[in-house]
Chains A and B, each alone.
Chain A
Amino acid sequence: MYYQLINFGNEEFHAYPNKSLYWKRLNTLIVSDLHIGKSISYAKNKQFLPPYDTKEILNKIFVSLDKIKPSNLIIVGDLLHDVFSTLSIKDQDYKNLSQYMKNTDFIWIKGNHDKNIQIEGFKNFTNYKIEKFLFTHIPIETPLFQICGHYHPKVKIVHRGKTIFKTSFVHNEKIFILPSFGILTGGLDVRSKQISDVLGKNNLSIYPVGQDKVYKL
């Protein structure tokens, strides 16, 4: 897997095309907004999306964990889509997760979607501090560098008369927003009000995600 080198808070990070972020020095993999079980959530409203998102998301994570073998996996919020989501996680999935948890420390930071959900044996936090970095779902007022999720950033590219939208990693000097790791998740433009209120409009580093590569704008 090709990765894109990103410098943030004076640390080296690797951005992968599967939308995960790797903190090299601390051997830590970071993902956000998995929204496991989104399909089941829609199904209860009788919109029957293909029920394979949970399986695919878990597979994606497992592949990353197999390849990188990180010491830590940090999930920066919205691991699950809603209370029904655990219905989509089968026994075998729990078994697999337990296996991986033996070699990697899973740190689950709650987001707005999974605020009130608990999974037995899975610790969770509101936010998590490592050295000068704060991991939190939605950015807050703090002097620390922040790595967040929530906004599912994407960027609009107009080039050669065509317009395309690409999921992206984006950061300014102090705040890094991860793209959504999920399979059926939509997104917000980095220039939208919600994101520009947080990151501002200037000095943005944007990394659109392609098929097998993460690009740098």
Chain B
Amino acid sequence: MNINKSNPLLLHPLNKWMKKKKWSWFPHQIETFHHVRTGSDVVVFAPTGAGKTLTGFINPIDDLIKLKKFKGLHTLYISPLKSLANDIVRNLEKPIKELDLNISFQVRTGDTTPYKKQKQKQKPPNILITTPESLALLNSYENAKEFFHNLKYIIIDEIHTFLDNKRADLLSLNIERLQTFSPNLQRIGLSATLKNKQDAKKWLCRKKPKIVSYENSVLPKIKILESKERIPWSGHMATYSINEIYKEIMKSKLTIIFVNTRAQAEYMFKNLWLINKKKLKIAVHHGSLEKNLRLKVENNLSKGLVDCVVATSSLELGLDYGDVEKIIQVGAPKGINRLLQRVGRSNHNLNTPSKAILVPTNRFEFIEAKAAIEEIKKNNLDKIDLKEGSFDVVAQHIFATACAGQFDINDLYKEIIKAYPYKKLKLNDFKQLINLIQDGGYVLKNYDQFKRIFQLRENKNIYKLVNKRETRKYRMNVGTIIENPMLKIKLGTKTLGNIEEVFIQNLSQGDSFIFAGQVLEFQSMKNNLVQVKRSKSLISKIPSYSGGRMPLSTNLANSVRALLAKSNMWDSYPEQITEWLKRQKNISKIPKKDEYLVEQFPRKKNFYTVIYTFAGWHANQTLGFLLLRGFKEFNYKPLGFVANDYAIVLWSLKEVKEIKTILNLGLLDKHLDNYLEETSIVKRLFRDNAIISCLIERRLPGMEKTGKQVLFSSDLIYTVLKKNEPDHILLKSSYEDAKKNMIDYDRLREILKKIDKKIILKKLTSISPLAVPIILEINRENLSKKETDEYILEDLENEILKEANVLSIN
């Protein structure tokens, strides 16, 4: 694209406004404008601060002005977050109002009032800014075709968040629906920089697909915190360096401290306040906090009324949050893309580098942080693996289709397989999903008279809703996000936020815990409300949240392995790290970047095996279980294991002599199904799949069932179904879900394929330096992975019997 040619955007209606602001058009904006104008679907890759949002609207605004007083919906803009949608509206307002352009635009999300929604349906604006869930809802109304038939553009913002999850699956199905309603529809995707741009293009684009890419040559300045303190051997808290972190906050005007989990956020916040001599204004922000609390922090952030915010990924996406001078990332970055996203929150000027400091919380994280810095220098990003779409999402989509009116089953199938995640969807699976929506899809046809949809007698290809009242049920159930049962926390009359029910169940009256930056005492729980009061206690529990664990990305893992092997770099590291690595080299070995080190040593009357896979926590956790079974088979009498992102340690009563025979692909093929069954992974996912596919209703506020009760019954349903119809499509859906999202199946498979040729076995007399971190984790973990309910019951019984002096101990 020759940028020296005359810039067509100089004739753009917004040009006057750009000139007033003394801004010039970016090359990628000119390129996008050109491609879209010639009929292409485009994905634009650009970093924050490169006018991405405006890029999406360039063609729509140009069109609308040319068309003069266009009536009806012309452009749809999809944002992943409600708050972002609101920000976009505010940003669009500025040029459109200032230039007095004749373009109407509105936002539509879950927060929009029913009155406004009604008006929008009757008289749609030219531009509608909305979320994927609201789009799904719009497609389920009877007037959907009429509403969308003139739609010209759909803009998907932050498309990189929409590539490999169920939300993305649902969105892609709805985009194909829009294309059916309006064949002239063009697609524009806006994305952060990605490694596999081609995949994003394949996901979104149909007509003359094009990629437009802007690479920022100004790389961020990232360094590791220089600390005089000793970096801990293991753990995830940065307590050792809290004083130095505080010094960094003092130095800059506005800092965001990113941590990886909500528990870490609360902990960091508490500890900072304990040493807050200068009375800096420090706030905390994470997803479980009540909305007003979060909004308050966000407002203060943009107005510069706060000195520092401790946040989780809750602050990762979003428009300008004011003049953030510095980012501190506490804990390992886990992935390059995520790190870049966070670092990008500081300094939205493309010409000055963003500044960030990494604070490793243990020794391995130091290497990880160093590796991350190296990868960013080389502009090496993570790959996002696109996966096949989930079945349960298709079921929900079928239901939505039925709500909009009768439909032809063949036409629907043809439309669905146009969506990239579903291009391989088998007709037979699709038919089973139709049956699922119809009456549960069971072989035993007990529910004929209670069907949800029925086939027309005149034409067996046409299906119709039996009762229009069902549409209400659909609308209450739309979406792919399943919350864990949460309870509201109330301090007096003020709501602070939500906490997972599981955590509260383990509390007794009087227990204290940290939340929203305060130490609270649990008083009572009634009707899903937890009443607390302020606690003066010094000892408190921190709520842990499930789903807080981000695995180490493949890209970063490989980089860590390569860096570990680079012995010429060691002297540049802090003394304790250098010493650690040198000792490891002397006593055992530092594996080369494509080698898999296996260490074995005796300890406490048992035999330990440590395997350094660097496969990420999910894959390692899976491998640990598989190895337990493998060890059992070979009669090594395994007792347990612990896994982290880098390694697995297993301990057994007998010495493991044939590790090379066990550690291979056969292990996966043989034991995977048992693993998924035994650990209830599939059973837990079944609940989500059953809710998303509308088999069981979502728990909604005000309904009598507590979260626990719904979980209970979905467990029962799973058990009955598994016993009587093991091939049911919903079980298949849950199984695939587990493989895709819980256990990193593909990654594990890749490793096991070639591992047996690359194993380096070291037999030692005691723990190696490299193994210390994972051995320390053994104490942290309860052995609950092995503990099924039966084990707990037996153990409890034994304890009680022992106390009663009845049980003889053999």
A residues adjacent to B (C-beta < 8 A) = 39-40, 43-44, 46-53, 55-56, 87-88, 156-166, 183-187, 208, 210-211, 215-217
Q: Mark B784-797, 1 if CB is under 8 A from A, else 0.
A: 10010110111111
Given A51-B447, A52-B724, A162-B784, A215 and B695 touching (CB < 8 A)? no
**What residues on A are CB-neighbors of B723 within 8 Å?**
52, 56
B793 touches A161 (CB 8 A): no
Report which of A40, A43, A50, A55 forms a contact with B717, defined as CB distance below 8 A.
A50
Min CB distance B582 to A, Å, is: 38
Q: Mark B726-747, 1 if CB is under 8 A from A, else 0.
A: 0010000000000000000000
A53 to B444, CA, bound (A): 11
Most chain B CB neighbours (cut-off 10 Å) among A48, A165, A185: A48
B residues adjacent to A (C-beta < 8 A) = 436, 439-442, 444, 446-447, 450, 452, 470, 473, 502, 505-506, 695-697, 708-709, 712-713, 716-717, 720-721, 723-725, 728, 782, 784, 787, 789-790, 792-797, 800
Report which of A50, A161, A187, A216 forms a contact with B720, defined as CB distance below 8 A.
A50
A186 touches B440 (CB 8 A): no
B797 touches A215 (CB 8 A): yes
Min CB distance B88 to A, Å, is: 37
A215 to B789, CA, bound (A): 12
**What residues on B are CB-neighbors of A51 within 8 Å?**
440, 442, 444, 446-447
9 contacts between A and B (CB under 8 A): A46-B473, A50-B442, A50-B728, A52-B720, A55-B724, A162-B782, A162-B792, A187-B712, A217-B796
A157 touches B787 (CB 8 A): no
Determine the residue in chain B with the shortest Cβ distance to A37.
B446
Report which of B446, B713, B800 forms a contact with A217, defined as CB distance below 8 A.
B800
B712 touches A50 (CB 8 A): no
Main SS class of interface, B = helix
Given A52-B723, A186-B713, A43 and B789 touching (CB < 8 A)? no
Most chain B CB neighbours (cut-off 10 Å) among A44, A46, A88: A46
Determine the residue in chain A with the shortest Cβ distance to B714.
A49
**What residues on A are CB-neighbors of B444 within 8 Å?**
51-52
Min CB distance B487 to A, Å, is: 14
Given A47-B697, A88-B446, A217-B800, A156 and B505 touching (CB < 8 A)? yes
A43 touches B447 (CB 8 A): yes
A211 to B794, CA, bound (A): 11
Determine the residue in chain B with the shortest Cβ distance to A188.
B709
A160 touches B787 (CB 8 A): yes
Report which of A87, A166, A187 forms a contact with B793, defined as CB distance below 8 A.
A166
Given A157-B793, A217-B796, A162 and B787 touching (CB < 8 A)? yes
Min CB distance A193 to B, Å, is: 11
**What residues on B are CB-neighbors of A48 within 8 Å?**
436, 439-442, 447, 450, 695
B439 touches A165 (CB 8 A): no
**What residues on A are CB-neighbors of B790 within 8 Å?**
210-211
A163 touches B502 (CB 8 A): yes
Determine the residue in chain B with the shortest Cβ distance to A88.
B446
B713 touches A164 (CB 8 A): no
A156 to B502, CA, bound (A): 12
A162 to B795, CA, bound (A): 12
Determine the residue in chain A with the shortest Cβ distance to B450.
A43
Given A56-B720, A166-B793, A186 and B712 touching (CB < 8 A)? yes
A60 to B800, CA, bound (A): 31
A163 to B712, CA, bound (A): 13
Min CB distance A4 to B, Å, is: 11
A216 to B782, CA, bound (A): 25
Given A44-B450, A165-B712, A210 and B724 touching (CB < 8 A)? no
**What residues on A are CB-neighbors of B442 within 8 Å?**
48, 50-51
A104 to B721, CA, bound (A): 31
Not counting A43-B446, A51-B440, A160-B792, a sample of 12 additional A-B residue pairs whose C-beta atoms are within 8 angstroms of each other reads A39-B446, A40-B450, A43-B439, A48-B436, A48-B439, A49-B440, A87-B446, A157-B792, A160-B784, A162-B787, A184-B717, A215-B794
Determine the residue in chain A with the shortest Cβ distance to B502.
A163
A133 to B709, CA, bound (A): 33
Report which of B441, B708, B784, B789 forms a contact with A166, defined as CB distance below 8 A.
B789
Given A39-B446, A166-B789, A160 and B716 touching (CB < 8 A)? no
**What residues on A are CB-neighbors of B709 within 8 Å?**
186
Min CB distance B726 to A, Å, is: 11
**What residues on B are CB-neighbors of A217 within 8 Å?**
796-797, 800
**What residues on B are CB-neighbors of A210 within 8 Å?**
789-790, 793-794
B712 touches A164 (CB 8 A): no
A56 to B723, CA, bound (A): 10
**What residues on A are CB-neighbors of B697 within 8 Å?**
47
A209 to B584, CA, bound (A): 51
Min CB distance A194 to B, Å, is: 14
**What residues on B are CB-neighbors of A183 within 8 Å?**
716, 720
**What residues on B are CB-neighbors of A166 within 8 Å?**
789, 793
A156 to B792, CA, bound (A): 12
B792 touches A161 (CB 8 A): no
A50 touches B502 (CB 8 A): no
A55 to B444, CA, bound (A): 11
A199 to B717, CA, bound (A): 31
**What residues on B are CB-neighbors of A184 within 8 Å?**
713, 716-717, 720
Sorted nearest first, the 4 A-B pairs with minimum C-beta distance are A48-B440, A51-B446, A52-B724, A43-B450
A215 to B695, CA, bound (A): 34
A211 to B440, CA, bound (A): 28
Most chain A CB neighbours (cut-off 10 Å) among B447, B505, B696, B797: B447
**What residues on B are CB-neighbors of A187 within 8 Å?**
712
